[in-house]
Amino acid sequence: MKKVIAATGVTLTLALGTSVLPANNEAGNEAHAATQPYYNYTGYAAYDSSFFVDPNFVRAIKYHNVSFNGYKIQGQHQAVPNSTKNIRVYDQLIEINKETNNAVSVSIPINQGQVSRQAIENVYGTNYEFHSEKMSNDTGMMVYEFDGSTVNIEIYHNMADSATIT
C-alpha cells in the first residue's frame, strides 16, 4: 500500500508541478525574419518571355527586388538629370546612374506571341492605365504603378511586345 501511495504522490506532484509553470514558451514563440521575394534574371529576355507573367517575378517587382544580369533595378529615384547612361546587356537596355552605378530602369523585349494581354491582367491585375494614340483597344501601352515601381508594357494586337521596369 505504501508503494501505491508513494507512486500516487509522485504522479500528483509531477502533474501539479507542471501545471504552474509559466505559459509562455519563449523557444516556440520566436519571430522569424520575413523574406522578401526576389527575382534574378540572367540571359536573353526575348528567348522565353514567359518569366514576365511568373507570379514570383511580379511579387519581386512589387518589393523592388528584381535584377537583370547582375543589375538590381533601383527605380527612377536613382535618376539624376544628365547623369545616366544606357548599356546593353544581352537583349536588354539598362539605364545606369553614372555616379552610383545603380540601375534606374531596364527595357526588355518580349517575344511577340508569347505573352498575351489577358495573361498580364491575370498576374499583374486589372488596376492599370491604358494609353493608345489611335484610340485602339488592342494596341497601346499598359502602365502599372506599384508603390514606387512602374511597369510599362507595349501591347500590339493584345500581345506584349516590350516592357520597361523602373
pTM, two decimal places: 0.77
User: Rounded to 5 degrees, what are φ and ψ at 58?
Assistant: -65, -40
Q: Which domain holds residue 44?
A: 39-165
Q: Is residue 88 part of a domain?
A: yes
Total domains in the chain come to 1
pLDDT of residue 34: 58
Q: Express each pLDDT in 125-143 by its tens digit.
A: 999 999 998 888 999 999 9
Q: Is residue 101 part of a domain?
A: yes
Q: Is residue 106 part of a domain?
A: yes
Q: Is residue 23 part of a domain?
A: no
Q: Is residue 131 part of a domain?
A: yes
Give the residue, 63 or 24, on which the prediction is more confident: 63
Q: Is residue 129 part of a domain?
A: yes
Q: State how far the Cα of 58 lies from the Cα of 77, in Å rounded to an integer.
A: 20
**Cell numbers for 58:** 511580379
Q: State how far the Cα of 98 lies from the Cα of 121, in Å rounded to an integer.
A: 35
In this predicted structure, the answer to whether residue 24 has a pLDDT above a threshold of 70 is no
**CA atoms within a 13 Å half-sphere pointing along the CA-CB vector of 92:** 25
